[in-house]
Structure 1
Amino acid sequence: MQFAGGVVAFRPSLNTNGIPTPMFGMGQGRVDGPDSAAQASDGYGSSLAMAPYRPSGAATITDSMLAVGAPGEDLSTTVDAGAVQVYHIKADETVVHTQWIDQNASDVEGEAEPGDFFGQRVAAVNTATNVVSTAATMRLAVGVPGEEYGAEHSESGGIALFSMLGAPGAADSWIEPGHGIPAESAPRQYTGLSLGSSPSLLYVGMPYGPAQGRAVYGFPWNVASGGAPTQTFKPGEGGLPTDVGAFGATVR
């Protein structure tokens, strides 16, 4: 099916043929979850994020958690609502599907709507790599650039935050322009298209929309819904040049 998508993992070394050896491949038809069969234009693999994971009983980090975005996923008749799938990659290279996340999941803020493109970007982190991983330390951010708040604020966008462990609605929160993000909500801001991560902060780029809101904001990974950023980079401040187009379009 055209543009259904897929993911292939390779070893980080070259084999005797001078190329990386494939470890495993994944697609939507090989996991459990609602509407999990591969469909045209799902875009599975459009975004990827991996974080180191130390399971209970392990003396060190041995595993990883992988999030895969499928922003073109249709949820029943809700076209291009989007979804994210989470996998536990074990030390023996076994891959276990652990979560299907969408905005219709139980207790998750908001609801899936056509053209949300939930999962167009994802970012993940383990905020405490020196201890056994928990729901509080394994965090995932999901960009929802097509989220809108009425016709006057089409494609304003937003970002949903989850734990990579447990039920999606058990530890989720939501930020958007005017609700946590210090920028007025406006059409075509596409909030969630630019995400970056460090062990302490989620970085959100706001390159589009009104000029006064264009900036990069750093949020604690466990920020509550509507919580404020703790760090801001803005053109014309802190030694940054003033005349910068699309500032924050890419954050790493």
Structure 2
Amino acid sequence: MALEEQRVAIVTGGSKGIGKGIARGFAKAGYRVLVVSRNLAEAEAVAAEIGGGASGVAADLTTGEGNRAMAAAALDRYGAIDALCANAGAFPAAKLADMTEADFDFVINTNLKSTFLSVQACLPALKASGRGRVVLTSSITGPITGYPGWSHYGASKAGQLGFMRTAAIELAPFGVTVNAVMPGNILTEGLEGMGQDYLNKMADSIPMKRLGSVDDIAGAALYFASDAAAYVTGQTIVVDGGQVLPESLGALEAMEG
């Protein structure tokens, strides 16, 4: 039996998009995966699709109660939590002049507060694992770049990295690492609905001339969860096809000269 087949991973926001890709990647690697979503039917559908003993659970991750129930479900079903992939997130657009307090609170609670609460709820089991791994899904938006309408989203994603650095220090003595994947433009259900013209324009701004796949993000998350990354903590991996590298559109145009 491969070592990974004895390990358990929780993937929050695992019913679609990047989260589903991460859940699938961990299942293929042999992890038993708890897929977490607000919608139980969607979580269970993904669990059935990826197999490998995966199961689904519904939880409101903006509350301590919801996160404690999630951790309890993993321990009840699998007896351990070796990796927490804190991926749950939302990105509704709203420009500053129109953004309401409720809009801001929703994004911060969903993206940032849930990160803190999920790590806290899983912490006893991650410590007991002896090789606990926390992998956050941050973004290039906020920590590196900005985009109109996403000031609240950018704040939440930058906040995750601030949380990560101190959490990594606090948890290091217990062998628990805390790292983050920072995706660029990844082709998911949400982006597909924007239309092909929009997707083409996004791809044109990326040196590799294509959008990333959810599997690209899963690969980075699996690295952070692996034994190869046992001495890596408080770090980030940007997975964006080189999107943040050009200093201007002219740099991309010069590639064709």
Query: If the length of structure 1 is used for normalisation, what is the TM-score?
Result: 0.31
Which has a greater percent of strand?
A: 1
Give me the TM-score of the superposition, normalised by structure 2. 0.31
**If each structure's helix is expressed as a fraction of its own residues, which one has the higher value?**
2
> Relative CO higher for 1 or 2, CA cutoff 8 Å, sep ≥ 6?
2
